[in-house]
A and B are shown apart, each in its own frame.
Chain A
Amino acid sequence: MLHLAQRLDELRAHAAIARVGADSRGVHRARATAGRIAAWLDLGGWSVLADDVRWLRRGLARARDLDVIVESAELAPDARAWFARERAAEQARVVVLLDDERFAALLAALAELPEPRGKHVRRALERMQRRSLRAGDALERAVEPLDAAHRLRRRLRRLRHALEWLELPAPVLRAAQTELGELHDRAALLGALERSPFERATRAGRDARANELEGRLASFRLRWPALRGELRRD
């Protein structure tokens, strides 16, 4: 099993880059590493500290979404400039978050936790797999498929991170999660455009993106029963 200390070092390093704000990989990787740590807490059967990790991830979420939008190839120059200004304003909140004593305390607390024990690990993996399969089944029936796909993506991500800790490959899981991640980024872009001053100017492009998103989501839903079987074996 991989060791938490290594991930904590990575989180510190990514957070330092995120704090400077010049490289979007800092925020992205700090969030991703925090997600892996959340999976580690699940594997260890810990109830505490998960809310603190969630606080950190949520605090970085808007900056991450804006980074994805600013780096999208599809934006018109004026829209890109507007979102870049939004991202620059968000940076102040990133700095406040990472300078918060709660972040330092979280790192300090995590640094002392013992490695997960076998019985917790087995139970946690079974629970994560059950939840993932349930979330996928819910997506099949969902009236609001985008929300259901978002929930499934988070379940799959948690399971994949847990398997990463155990150094177990999960190629099907990884591919499904990547596909859902791309859908989420598309949806985030659409949502941000709708909330921006560019709604009218970009309507045609937005409709095309919305249609593409719906098509990809429908395709994923159709493939879920087959994926479900593969995930059980993965």
Chain B
Amino acid sequence: MTEAVELWLVRHAEARDARPGESDAARALTERGVRGARRLRRALRRLGASFDRLDHSPLLRAVETADVLAPLASATRVNAGLAREPGPEFLSDLASEVARSHVARLALVGHEPWLGQLAFWLVSGWSVREPARQPAWLALEKGGALRLRGEIAPGRMRLEHALDSETVRALARR
């Protein structure tokens, strides 16, 4: 059994559309997206959030979002598993790696619908293969975040905070 972990799931901020001939991986944050990521950082600071490790997807919009949040993290790590649907292997690798590295506060910066699926899976234990069961409140807005706590295993975490854009704005303004 692994230790309880504070897990933040963060969706990348607003990104521009792909230009003709450009890959989805190369989509950068818009100026509004950069401002949104900075706002999220301020909001997370207000909540006293800090991370032993911040994992991010290799896609540029997640890399840029993670870069804005990096001052809150002791270490960062690129994680290809965040750029695809989360499966049992991703979860078990993450859980064992987090236990091995004694990470107590972890942030994952990635994409929808996968982060929402992951949150739903961790909270409910229901399969991510059944997205129709996923309630809307677990879908993350761009530049939004969820805080979960518990063991990194299906059905072993509980949702503590859901930061939508309004909440982020309110927290950042305070």
Contact = CB atoms under 8 A, between A and B. Distances in A.
Interface of A: 46-52, 55, 101-102, 104-106, 108-109, 111-114
Interface of B: 23, 25-26, 28, 54, 56, 58-60, 63, 66-67, 70-71, 75-81
Given A102-B79, A111-B25, 15 more contacts: A46-B67, A47-B70, A47-B71, A48-B56, A48-B67, A48-B76, A49-B78, A52-B76, A55-B77, A102-B77, A102-B78, A105-B80, A109-B58, A112-B26, A112-B58
B12 to A, nearest CB: 12
30 contacts: A47-B71, A47-B76, A48-B56, A48-B63, A48-B66, A48-B70, A49-B76, A50-B76, A52-B76, A101-B80, A101-B81, A102-B77, A105-B58, A105-B78, A105-B79, A106-B58, A108-B58, A109-B58, A109-B59, A109-B60, A109-B78, A112-B23, A112-B25, A112-B26, A112-B58, A112-B59, A112-B60, A112-B63, A113-B60, A114-B28
Contacts of A47: 67, 70-71, 76
A19 to B, nearest CB: 19
A112 B77 CA distance: 16
B84 to A, nearest CB: 11
Q: Which 5 A-B pairs have the closest CB atoms?
A: A47-B70, A109-B58, A105-B80, A112-B60, A108-B58
Contacts of B25: 108, 111-112
Contacts of B60: 109, 112-113
A15 to B, nearest CB: 16
A96 B54 CA distance: 23
